[in-house]
A and B are shown apart, each in its own frame.
Chain A
């Protein structure tokens, strides 16, 4: 039951949106005629089609952003992106009208003078037309909203006690329809005033009449539907059971009535009344002239009085500012040296322009699609876009893979470079260490680090996880393995030395008390003995 109700409501919503869009498309026809009268040679038919879609989009967007307040950033971004896209489509559509070759000619000109070449007069006129259509459509959409009633909405209203003023909303819709009609009639009449003799020779002008007829025909259908929506809302609010036939009969009676009216009005004669209208026109002219004469006659004494009063305060000649004689036109400035343009600067400027331009369009498109998931889904359903999307995804995956590989290579190179730099820096640091300037604590640590470095150079580097004692055992074991003969006999002794040096290091590194100079001397002696032993052992092992 609810599903059927929702479907009906969706159908009504779609019908209203479609009607309004078609009505505003009729309005755009009048605007296009106006534009064609202003811009000689301009073909603005594309604007009619675009107006239809802009009206639909504006109605949807008005609903979409209706919950946002004006200063909301989301609203501003949404509106900005919406308009960037509308303008982009406007520009693209204009090139479909003139031919795409024109686009190839115009593209280079945009970066030269964007304001003049991109924002042409026709483009601005088109933007104004779309703005008008967009505004009207948004207004229609918001006024239609209170008339779309279901039980859920009514329950909220009952619970909150705040009710929409639906008759007022419907009144606004009717008024707006009439005002747009008035605007169209005045524009059409103004356009036609000068060309009345050519009336039957200009088929486009006839077309202009048909759009008015269509507009009012659709307007009557729209009024009928909104009246039904209003009545239905009021009935639902009063919890009245409504016969299911009411909606169908309403549509049938409306269609028959409007059809009959259209038929009758189209067959009723009009030509004979032109003489009558001319007579009324003449009568109106006489009335206007008489009214103007009477007004002048009434105002004459007042003007005369004012003139007399003003004559009492004559303006002295001396007070008048002397009129400066006309100055000769200034000499043109000396021709500046032609700016030396470097080709790569031009290229850079061009790239920057197009990057910014495309980025704005791209961002607007992305944001709009991101904000309107239905549009994204609809775009995805188009086969061509699906192929393009797949292609784009594979490109992106490959780029990501290449990026990862490149990043890994760069990271590896960078690590090796850093290691090399670190080693060279270490060497430099070692070369620059002055033992006499170090404290006893630092000297002890220095000798232990020298032990580590020497061990590392001969393949027994300390692992980060190893404690000093563990490393001491590892080093002793390595010496044991590497030594032979007399050296092997002395290995335990040096093992003890390593252990003692490790103790000294731990004391210097972690204790709080002061380290004496004797400790530093002892560490130095230990290191010298260990060093000699290590050199001898490893030299022999290398010679083997």
Chain B
């Protein structure tokens, strides 16, 4: 409309010149004013608008989470109409994008809100948020404003485990052990009479003075369970039938184990050949073993983000990162693909002093044969077909 209006105003001006009438000038003022105000209003409508997206950036599976959009018009120019459109992924907001048409007076603010249903693990962009407004005459094309997306991490499902029996060879940890080899001198569990051969460093002199006989301390054996979880998310190593469900099961197993290890006040690390969207589609960076809730959150966010993709082989991941692990670390390999290369890599890790544990998620052909083969190499193996199979660690 703008172009024709300009032509019209120019024509009006020419007529005013030719005729020399002041009424045409009055008209010119009116229409020029409408044109300029319309253009100016349309162009500046969104300049004073501020938008904030307020939400918790991570959520647990099944959680319903509110998101609020705080829109504020800082200028004195009112917005006759304001179109707000927030693009949202269908996994968390099934009814299309959130959109609303509203109006905002000068120096006014308002809050729009919607709820997200976190039904699936993932790392979801909330936005971009598009704002559109304009003048009441339609003189200018509606200006737009965009608020870049924020991201929401929906953690994978965590199944609380209670009795996980993972092999470890790291002494002096905080976990009880039945191997007397790993006695911890900081954990005294009792005393007994001295017998020949006992080390004098074990003699409890105070107790010996009290009793009048030599007493030696008994120490509780303990191990440290430093764990490294290796997660195979290379799409090429899954079949067409297992590509969608089994990686999710593998992620649930990894998250549950990590949670258990952290709860046991041990350290846990994570390595995967899946891609991380936050790193531009590159493979997920190795997360070294650490303790504490904060580290667990970091692990969970990584497991929320990580995605199956055509990546490098799982064996390469094992070979690349297992060499960096300290002696006695427990290596948990979670995969769906078993072959001789895998056994070779796991055996090499075992020989390097790591405690290796193989978890096979999903169906594989002739798992029993593979289990026997793993046992031959001294590697315990477990198959988990669904989440219910994790009950063996819950009893």
Contacts and interface: CB of A to CB of B under 8 A. Distances in A.
Interface of A: 170-171, 174-175, 178, 181-182, 185-186, 188-189, 192-193, 196, 199, 209, 212-213, 216-217, 220, 223-224, 226-228, 230-231, 235, 238-243, 245-246, 249-250, 253-254, 257-258, 261-262, 264-266, 268, 270-271, 273-274, 277-278, 280-281, 284
Contacts of B19: 189, 192-193, 196
Interface stretch (B28-36, B281-289, B359-367, B376-384): B28-36
Nearest to A223: B137
A268 B101 CA distance: 37
A213 B28 CA distance: 10
Contacts of A271: 22
The 10 closest A-B pairs by CB, nearest first: A270-B22, A265-B29, A265-B30, A227-B138, A243-B102, A209-B23, A249-B103, A270-B25, A189-B19, A242-B101
A235 B82 CA distance: 11
Given A182-B11, A224-B136, A249-B103, A277 B20 contact: yes
Nearest to A242: B101
B103 A245 contact: yes
A261 B78 CA distance: 17
Given A270-B22, A270-B25, A246 B81 contact: yes
Interface of B: 1, 4-5, 8, 11-12, 14-27, 29-31, 33-34, 37, 78, 80-81, 83, 96, 99-103, 105, 134, 136-138
Given A185-B24, A185-B27, 16 more contacts: A174-B4, A185-B12, A213-B27, A220-B30, A242-B101, A245-B102, A246-B101, A246-B102, A249-B78, A249-B80, A250-B103, A253-B78, A253-B136, A264-B29, A265-B30, A273-B22
Contact of B8 (A182, A264, A266): A182
A281 B18 CA distance: 6
A241 B100 contact: yes
Nearest to A175: B4
B88 to A, nearest CB: 14
A217 B31 CA distance: 9
B22 A235 contact: no
Contacts of A240: 83, 99-101
Contact of A257 (B4, B102, B136): B136
A224 B34 CA distance: 11
B23 A243 contact: no
Instruction: Please report whether the interface of chain A is mostly helix, strand, loop or mixed according to DSSP.
Output: helix
Contacts of A264: 29, 33
A226 B136 CA distance: 9
A278 to B, nearest CB: 6
Contacts of A182: 8, 11
Nearest to A256: B78
A174 B138 contact: yes
A243 B100 contact: yes
Contact of B33 (A175, A241, A245, A265): A265
A189 B101 contact: no
Contacts of A189: 15, 18-19, 21, 24
A244 B22 CA distance: 43
A243 B103 contact: yes
A531 B307 CA distance: 128
Nearest to A206: B23
Given A185-B27, A265-B33, A253 B17 contact: no
B137 A224 contact: yes
Contacts of A193: 19
B37 A257 contact: yes
B17 A277 contact: yes
A538 to B, nearest CB: 107
B364 to A, nearest CB: 47
A181 B34 CA distance: 15
A178 B33 contact: no
Nearest to B104: A249
Given A212-B27, A268-B26, A250 B21 contact: no
Given A213-B26, A240-B83, A170 B31 contact: no
Contacts of A281: 17-18, 20
Contacts of A178: 4-5, 8
B205 to A, nearest CB: 82
A284 B17 CA distance: 8
A250 B37 contact: no
B100 to A, nearest CB: 6
A240 B95 CA distance: 12
A228 B136 contact: yes
Contacts of B101: 235, 240-243, 246
A26 to B, nearest CB: 12
A181 B31 CA distance: 11
Contacts of A230: 138
A268 B32 CA distance: 13
Contacts of A246: 80-81, 101-103
A246 B5 CA distance: 26
Contacts of B30: 213, 216-217, 220, 261-262, 265
Contacts of A239: 96
Contact of B20 (A227, A243, A262, A278): A278
A226 B8 CA distance: 19
B13 to A, nearest CB: 9
A217 B4 CA distance: 18
Contacts of B138: 170, 174, 223, 226-227, 230
Nearest to A208: B23
A171 B1 contact: yes
16 contacts: A185-B12, A189-B18, A213-B26, A216-B27, A216-B30, A216-B31, A220-B30, A223-B138, A235-B101, A243-B102, A250-B136, A265-B26, A266-B26, A270-B22, A273-B22, A284-B18
A196 to B, nearest CB: 7
Contacts of A181: 8
A274 B23 contact: no
B133 to A, nearest CB: 11
Contacts of B37: 257, 261
Contacts of A220: 30, 34, 137
Contacts of A224: 136-137
A213 B101 CA distance: 34
Nearest to B14: A284
Nearest to B25: A270
Nearest to B100: A241
A277 B81 CA distance: 40
Contacts of B8: 178, 181-182
A487 B1 CA distance: 117
B43 to A, nearest CB: 15
Contacts of A249: 78, 80, 103, 105
Nearest to A231: B81
B24 to A, nearest CB: 7
A242 B17 CA distance: 46
Contacts of B103: 243, 245-246, 249-250
A263 B107 CA distance: 26
Contacts of A174: 1, 4, 138
B211 to A, nearest CB: 84
Contacts of B26: 209, 213, 265-266, 268, 270
B23 A212 contact: yes
